Every structure is written in C-alpha cells, then in structure tokens.
Amino acid sequence: MADTIPNPESEGPSGGWGSVKSIARIYGDTRPPAAVVETLARQNKPGGFMCVACAWPKPVNYHPFEFCENGAKATLSDLTSARCTPDFFHDHSVEELRTWKDYDLEQTGRLTHPLRYDAGTDRYVEVTWEEAFEKIGVTLKVLPRESVVFYSSGHAGLEASYLYALLARVYGNNNLPQSSNMCHETTSVGLNKVIGSPVGTIVWDDLEKADAFFFFGQNPGSNSPRFLHPLQEAKKRGARIVTFNPVVEQGLVSFVNPQSPVDMLTGHETQISDEYLQVQAGGDIAGILGLCKVVVEADDKAVAAGAARVIDVDFINEHTTGLETFISLVRQTSWAEIERESGLTEPAIRRAGEIYIASERVIGVYGMGLTQHSQGALNVAMVVNLLLLRGNIGREGAGCCPVRGHSNVQGQRTVGIAEKTKLIPMDKLKQLFDFDPPMKDGTTIVDAVKGLMAGEIKAFISLGGNLVRAVPEQKEMERAWAAQELTVVVSTKLNRSHLFPAKNAYILPCLSRTEDDTQATGSQAVSTEDSFSHISGSIGKRTPASKHLKSELAIVTGIAKATLEHNPKLKWDEWEGDYSLVRQLIEFTYPKDFKHYNDRLFQPGGFYRGNDAHERLWNTEEKKAVFTTPKQLNALSFADADGRFRLITMRSNDQFNTTIYGYSDRFRGIEGTRDVVLMSKSDIDANGLVEGQVVKLVSDFGDGLRRELGGLTVRAHNLPNGTICAYYPEANVLNAIDHHDELSKTPASKAIPVRIEV
C-alpha cells in the first residue's frame, strides 16, 4: 500500500455527498421541470437515451441510476428552463456579449430560434429555416470547394454524422476535422500505428477480470465518473491501481459511491490508487521506460536463475516486432536519466513495476495527459510497449483503454467523419450515391486554423462545438474566424464561437438527445458508439425546448438540399423522415461493423462492432504489434530553461470542455474562481512569488509572438516542481498552433512552455 497521499486541497473523496450536492446545485440553478428524475432514470439504459456527456460505456447490468455527476449535469443543463430567445439578442449586441464569461453565456439557456447575424445593428435576429438554408446554400455554391470546412464536435448521433460526411464529400472535399483532432487523434493515428487499431481494445468484461489498472494522464473522477464503479469493484476483489499523474486527482485517490446507500450513510471510502506517481508534465516516456526496465531486469534474473520468464516470450515471438532495439535502449538508459526526465524516484518506479509484474492481467488506461503533448503518439506507443512485454493486449482482462471524450466522438469517425481518405470506403459511396468522391485528404484542425489565419478558409460549418474557444492561438483565431464569408454553427446553447460572426453568420438551434425527435414516419431513435466500440440506440422523450428546433439530422439534410445539385440517389427527404433508412446505408457502407444494425439497436449494453487487435490480429504495416524505441525521453518539443514552466491546461468537474457549469472545482479545493495558476510551494518561493499574488503567464514557445494571460492568482498546490496548471479554455490564448503532437497534429495542451511575469 502506498503512503497516504497528501491532498489537503480536496473537500473529500470523489463521488459521495459532494457529487449529490453538486448536481443539486445545477438542478437549482437550471430549474428543470418536475419530470427530470424520470428523465435521469432513463439515462444510458436500453430504450432510454444515451448520455449527452462522455463516451464511457453502458454496462449490460445497469444501476437504477446509470448516470454520474458529470452526465447528470450535462442532462440538466440541456433541460434548463432558461431560454435564449430573439428578444435576448435584441437586448444585447454581439460586441457586448463578447465581454461575457463562458459561464454567463451558458446561463442564457437553450437557443430557441434560427438566427442570422445583422451587421448593421451588430445583433443576431430571427430568421426562418427556409431562408437560412437558402442563403447558406447560395454562399456555399459559389465558394471554392477546398475553402469550406465541415467541423463536428462529438455530440451528433451516427445517423446525422454519416449524412454530414456525405454532404461534405458530395459538396467536393474531405474537410471533415472533428473535436478528436484536439483530443484522441493521437490515439487514432498513434495507437493505430503500433497495434493497427485506432480505438481501445478492451470490453466491459475485461474491466471485471483485470488484476491491475495503470492510469496515465486520465482523470476518471471528473471526466468519466461511471468508471469509478468498476474500479471500486476491482479494488474489492483485490485488483491494484497505479497512477501516473502530476496532479493528485481526488477520483484516483478515493471514492464514495453515490449510488450505494451503505457507502453514503457510512461514508465508506474506497482507496483507489495503490501507488500514485507524480510524474512531471511530459515525463511519462521516461517513467514508462523505467517500468519496462524493472520488467527487463526481473526477466534477466529469471533467465540467470532458470526460472519462468517474466516477459511473455511466446507472445512476443509470434505477435510483435521491434523488441530487440527497444530492449537495448531500456538497458542503456540509466536510472539517473529516468529519474531526471520523469521527476520520479527509482524506488517509486520499482514499486509500480513490481505491481505490473505481479499482475497476470493488466489494463493500461490513458487520456489527455498523454495525448496532448508534442510527443503524444510516442507516449501512447510507450504504454503499448509496456503492455506488450507481458502479452497484455488481446487477452481476457487485459488491454489498452484510451478513454474518449464526447459521447459519440469515436462513432462519428467510424461512420465517415474523417479527413483522411484512406479511412473511407469511397468505392462504396460511389456505388451507393453515384458521384465521384474527392480523393484528396482534407484538413485537420491545426491545418484548418492555419488556413483560416492565412485567409484560405472562407466558410466553416460546425455541427456542434465551440471551436473558436477550444483551439490554440485563440486571439488570432477570433479575428480569422470573423473574416470568413460564412459561419454556420449548429448549437444547443450560446457560446463564444457565435460572437465572431463572419460576413454571413447563422446560429442553427438543434434538439438535445433527451428530446423527442418526431419526423414524417414518427418518433426517431439515434445511436452512438462508446469507448469500448459498443453501439447503442437512444430515444429522447422530453418535449423540445422550443417548437422551432430541428434535429441535427434535419439540419444536415436542410443544408444539403439547399446546396447540392439534384441527384436521385440522394434521398434527403426520405432519410429525414425515417432514420432507420440511414442506418441501412451505414450498414451497407460498413457491413462488418454494423451487421443487423436496426435489429440490434436496443441490445442491452449496445452491440459490439469488434476490434481486430482484441483478437490479436494486427492491421499495422508490419502485420504485427510494434515495439517502439523512443527517440527521446520526454514528450516535449522544448528544453528546460531557467524560468520556463510546463503549463498543464486542466478541466474541473464543474465544466464540460468550454461549457462552464459553475466555479466549484471541489476536488481541487478551488471555489468561486477559475482565474488561478497552481504551482508547487517551492516553485512559488524559488521564483520570489507569494501565494495570492496576481501574475501573468506569457508564452515561451520561442516564435517571437507575444501570447499572454493575466489576472491569475498564484495558489500553492501539490505539484512537481516545474509543472504548473491553469484552466482550459481560458488558458488557450497561451498555446501556439504549431505546438502539437508531431505525428497526429493534436494540439499539445498539457505542457505549454510559459514564463511568469509579475
């Protein structure tokens, strides 16, 4: 057992009464109608609706309330009684709204009417759907095809997403970047490179059989709280948990199950992590190399003693390539180098390594703490190296578990929202719809932002999201966004991306997944894919927030009809009237993944679309799983220098990305403000600062551009020296667009080089 982890800042364990209070506060704030409990009870169950927040899987044997603090907040915020109407926009100019905080924009409530920007009055005004679609179509028709981007955030269901990708391709490009370009693109590209799977390899049963979980840079307590239930169960049966994270995250320390009356009454806490390694930001490559060194040393001893091998020799011989060069680097690298680059001690890494060796079945879990770095793909490859050493992929109770963000972010990629043409069965599309699909790769988010800044991108359609607020280079992005010919944002709530309108700008308000979606043939279901590649149907029952809302699918078909030339194979009206026809198209396009799609839509726990790596079939170039020899020992693109810090941009449990529900980060003990910079006490002292002092962070990327964020109060926090934290999205102004994962171009949001100015 690890020493007790000092976490004086936290208000107590994650889950528990704190989470109930925190949900109740949103409930109070957002005043949902009385049937809200009934709605929450239907969340994530067969025949119910699938959570609008994250992509954590839905178990077959669900709890009475299969939702968490995070999901409940997202649902309640969709069910708010507050309405953001044309009258509101009459009262507030866009210039004025730009001075509002993200939280205040969110509080205006659900958007109710389609809106058009009127430059003369600097206001959004009501517009009919017919006029909006027609004007959007007119503008799109004359623009060069390459200059238009079709962005999506991972909310929309598989049906709308499939048609959205089709719209872009028939229009004439593959410019289909997605929020995962800022998130798990490192997985889509990096994991795919080494095991031939762009997604995680485990399923629910594996969670129940694992002997150990190794967490790298993923924070289940805030970001996927339903994960804490299987973790709690795992602890009860004696599984071990090891965490690599610079920040002591409460959900990885202890948990009181808010779904368990006994736990709630007795305050019974489950200790989560057996070992908590506060690696410095960007230090995981060295840290994991250290774990591998422990394994290799133990294996050498076993060989010398004629004992059973520690590495899985049979698996490695049959299934992998690259072990020798990797192992020789492991042997060459000294513990002194590992300690320096990871910020961890050899004994701490040894204790974690011993747990790895002692555990028959291990799951490697990771999130943004690994993916959002300059060498994010190398981080991911290192987790795979560790797992491969003992055959921990493609075996019961073992595997690789990247935890996805948005509820359908993985699924949107599965059904064609992708900028890379090699991922798309273009021949099938040609056959189905009788057109010549564009064969040139489309743009990633990084390239789209650069294209915007260069004036090459003229129009952005956004199916959800808040791109202007979510990307690096925010100040420049706001200017470039507004300089376009056309912006169309399909949204449920007002956000900052709406406040930099292009010459022609539209806000198109859509239904939430909790709401009834009635079309020509009756009430429609949609579907989503979770982090374990299971697909579940979802039916909303709530009365829509406004009678003027359209479903995301109907908005896509509306734009398509107004923009594309007539083609009898494109039956937008029929598809809009009956979503099961779209599911048939998806099944035809992706027969292996979506067999009997309509029949299996409501299978409890969702239906599994399979994963070759789970079966030890490796779709890599080498047709094997690949050991990667790291070319450097940290995940950074810059060297340490005096006064330079590695800035982590962090999320609280009181936000969902750019949506800020409140100012209570209770797990970290930060209340009433987000304008803080967290530092270790010794860094505060060493830099001549005092707690409570207000400072400015300045980008130290080295390209000569001045990027700064002021007004941040210094707070002492339990952190490794050299690593500091500030909140995302506020801190996005500090990141440079060229600071991204080398392989996948995912912005490096977790170790931004900065200096502190007073």
Ligand X SMILES: Nc1nc2c(c(=O)[nH]1)N[C@H]1C(S)=C(S)[C@@H](COP(=O)(O)OP(=O)(O)OC[C@H]3O[C@@H](n4cnc5c(=O)[nH]c(N)nc54)[C@H](O)[C@@H]3O)O[C@H]1N2
CB of 402 to Mo ion, least distance (A): 11
d(CA 666, CA 113): 36
Closer residue to ligand X in complex, CB, 36/311: 36
**Least distance (Å) between residue 179 CB and Mo ion:** 6
x/- letters, 118..157, toward ligand X (CB under 6 A) = -----------------------------------x-xx-
Indicate whether 664 belongs to the interface with ligand X (CB under 6 A): no
Q: Determine, following the binding rule CB under 6 A, whether residue 19 of this chain makes contact with ligand X.
A: no
Q: What are phi and psi of 530, to 5 degrees?
A: -95, 180
DSSP 359-372: -SSEEEEE-HHHHS
- Using CA atoms, how far apart are residues 270 and 256, in angstroms rounded to an integer? 6
Residue 184: CA atoms inside 13 Å, Cβ hemisphere, count? Answer: 29
Of the ranges 96-104, 405-413, 569-577, 595-603, which one interacts with Mo ion (CB under 5 A)?
405-413
The answer to whether 459 touches 478, Cβ cutoff 8 Å, is no
Q: Kindly state the smallest distance separating residue 26's Cβ from Mo ion, in Å.
A: 21
The residue (of 183 and 499) whose beta carbon lies closer to Mo ion is 183
Q: Which residues pair with 584 in a beta bridge?
A: none
N- to C-terminal Cα separation, the chain: 42
367 binds ligand X (CB under 6 A): yes
Q: What is the dihedral of CA 507, 509, 510, 516, to 10 degrees?
A: -170
Measured between alpha carbons, how far is 758 from 755 in angstroms, rounded to an integer? Answer: 10
Q: Is 630 in the site for ligand X (CB under 6 A)?
A: no
Beta strands 115-118; 270-271: pairing state: unpaired
Using CB under 6 A as the binding rule, whether residue 14 contacts ligand X is answered as no
The sign of the dihedral angle between the CA atoms of 628, 630, 370, 10 is positive
Among 23, 92, 41, 81, CA closest to 498: 92
Tell me: does residue 344 bind Mo ion (CB under 5 A): no
- Site pattern 150..189 for Mo ion (x: CB under 5 A): ---------------------------------x------
Exactly one of 628, 655, 680, 718 binds ligand X (CB under 6 A); which one?
655
Q: Which does 369 bind (CB under 5 to 8 A by kind): ligand X, Mo ion, none?
A: ligand X
Binding part of the chain for ligand X, among 29-37, 348-356, 625-633, 729-737 by CB under 6 A, reads 729-737
Rounded to 5, what percent of the chain is helix, strand, coil? 40, 20, 45
Strands of the sheet with 459-463, listed across from one edge? 123-126, 115-118, 504-509, 486-491, 459-463, 148-152
Interaction pattern, residues 245-284, with ligand X; x per rule: CB under 6 A: xxx-x-----------------------------x-xx-x
Instruction: Determine, following the binding rule CB under 6 A, whether residue 369 of this chain makes contact with ligand X.
Output: yes
Residue of 657, 664, 680, 718 interacting with ligand X (CB under 6 A): 657
Does residue number 405 form part of the binding site for Mo ion (CB under 5 A)? yes
**222 binds ligand X, rule: CB under 6 A:** yes
495 interface partner picked from Mo ion, ligand X, none, CB below 5 to 8 A per type: ligand X
716 binding partner (options Mo ion, ligand X, none; Cβ < 5 to 8 Å by kind)? none
Sole residue written with tokens 């999320």: 651
- Among 223, 392, 524, 536, interactor with ligand X by CB under 6 A: 223
Between CA 560 and CA 419, with CA 415 as vertex, the angle to 5 degrees is: 75
User: Which lies closer to Mo ion via its Cβ, residue 183 or residue 286?
Assistant: 183
Helix (H) or strand (E) holding 160: helix 158-171
- Among residues 93, 339, 70, which one has the least CA distance to residue 222? 70
Q: Interface with ligand X by CB under 6 A: which residues? A: 52, 54, 70, 153, 155-156, 179, 182-183, 216-219, 222-223, 244-247, 249, 279, 281-282, 284, 367-369, 372, 403, 405-406, 463-467, 470, 490-493, 495, 510, 512-513, 552, 648-649, 651, 653, 655-659, 728-729, 731-732, 735, 749-751
Binding site for Mo ion (CB under 5 A): 183, 405
